[in-house]
Each structure stands twice: as C-alpha cells, then as structure tokens.
Structure 1
C-alpha cells in the first residue's frame, strides 16, 4: 500500500508572538517582535490550507491513502530507535540521541519519525475510512 503521511497543519500555533523577557535589573530586552510579526504575516499568506488540500487531492488521484499523524515531539524522538529525550537537541538544527548516538538534522529526523508513525498507524489498522 502507498500512503502520503503528514503532520497536522496549524499555522495559528506557529504565529504566536515573541514573549517579552526581562534582564536582571528588570528592564525589558529586545526580543525581535518586529521580525517575528513579518514572519507571521508571510506564514499566514502562504495558503497552507490550499497546499494541504491540493496535495491530498493529488495523492488520492494517485491511489495513495492520506494520513495525518501527530507531529508532537517528532523533532526530539530518535528516528533510529524511537528514544525520546528533551535534551536531544544540542542546537536548533541538530538532533543527537544521548542513548544510541544517532545524529541527524532535526527536520530530517522529524520527517522520518512522522513517516514511521504513519506506517505504525497503517500496520495497527487504526486508519479511518476518511483517510483512504
């Protein structure tokens, strides 16, 4: 069976404002809010919902099943063995599993984890009829 697996699209969570921070003297620090607001506007203009609908239509036409799985902690799970550690990301862009030593880009690792979650869902038989 062929399937297209993705995480949920929820730009509302991605576009939260930058949180203000105070230094030791109680003064407010610069937090890049203006740059973040421009990124938020670009994200909301990108029509992610239409892209999602278009890719679903294309996958169904090609005879693929479309699955949406949870993306929670996907960039912190080890794609090699499934280990989860909150401190597995030494930098924003990298993942290093402290248990098995697996190293990868955080984004590439997250895509492998999401794909594996889709495979697990298909093998468990938990796919709903609307996902076909």
Structure 2
C-alpha cells in the first residue's frame, strides 16, 4: 500500500516532460530554426555563421534540458569549428583543432579546441597539414 501511495504521489507531483508549456514549445522551435540556419550555412561552406547558429541553438536547447538536441548541437559545433580552420596556415590554430599543445594556453569554452577529434578523417587531414607546416620551418 505504501508503495502504491509513493507511486501515485510521484506521478502527480511532477508533471510529465511531454506537457510542454507554450513558452517551452516556442524556445524549442527557436532552437530548431537556429539549428536549421546553421545547417544551411554549413552546407554553403559559411562555417563561421554555422558555428554561431549552432551555438545559439545549443543555448536554447540547454534552457529546456534536452540532452539529445544538446548533443546534436555539440557535434555540429565541433564540425563547423573544424571545417572553419581545417585549411588554416597558422600552426597554433591547427594544433588546437586536434588538441595538441600550442604556444598559447587554451581559452575556456573555445569551440575550436579539439574540434576535429570526433571526426577521424578530419583529424588525419589536420595532422597532415601540421606535418607539412612543421616541415617548412
């Protein structure tokens, strides 16, 4: 009997997540719209805009505590940051992409630090670019 009472209290004490308020639905739609804008910018090779839009989308999703959408944004942020600098000629900026030590300490919340690590093919490309630049020294 006590178990049944606890279950009933918990069931009615906390509303189900599926019962989103209109404000939450609006924030979710805004997050999705920003993500879509970022995706369009990414496809157009405008990686700086894509990065900014994905970051804005992540903020919206984080306010709603939507872990799947946040993870999707994090992956998109890494991809956009990686692609934005993949052909960079600055050795420090390339090293940041694959998490190698640089001449400068990393800045907190820098989307470029380790950005290519989730993508093995892109990491390999960056490391090849690093090797070429280091060979030119």
Judge same fold: TM > 0.5, yes or no: no
User: Greater RCO between the two (CA within 8 Å, min separation 6)?
Assistant: 1
TM class by smaller structure: under 0.3
> With structure 2 as the length reference, what TM-score do the two structures score?
0.25
Which has the larger Rg? 2
Structure with a larger share of its residues in helix: 2
